Structure 1
Amino acid sequence: MAELTGAQWRKSTRSGDNGGNCVEVADNLPGIVAVRDSKDPTGPALSFAPAAWTSFVRATKTE
């Protein structure tokens, strides 16, 4: 997970008060957006190209 060194994690704005089932997002690194389970901060993380992450967020938003 060396490419995530320096990641600044924040709770996703899409995570609500749902019993701790939250994701954290790090979007401060060049060329990558990382996502992890907030309950397992030392566990695995998914990484996405910024354009792919933006498309995913747009596709999942509800009005």
Structure 2
Amino acid sequence: MSAGEKAKAKTEQAKGKSKEAMGRAVGNERMTAEGQAEKSKGDARQAKEKTKDAFKR
């Protein structure tokens, strides 16, 4: 996994998780949904990079 893509994935996951938690804390369903989507995007990016690494070897 390239370091840049790995960092992007981790950043998206963390940002999404915090946004989701903040949305739940203030009762904002839209913010919660946006956080979940952002976290999922980071998860997908990480999975893609892991798959690329598996085929490199």
Is this a same-fold pair by TM over 0.5? no
Structure with the larger strand share:
1
Calculate the TM-score normalised by the size of structure 1. 0.28
Higher normalized helix content (fraction of residues): 2
Higher RCO by CA contacts (8 Å cutoff, separation 6 or greater): 2
TM-score by length of 2: 0.29
Q: Which has the larger radius of gyration?
A: 2
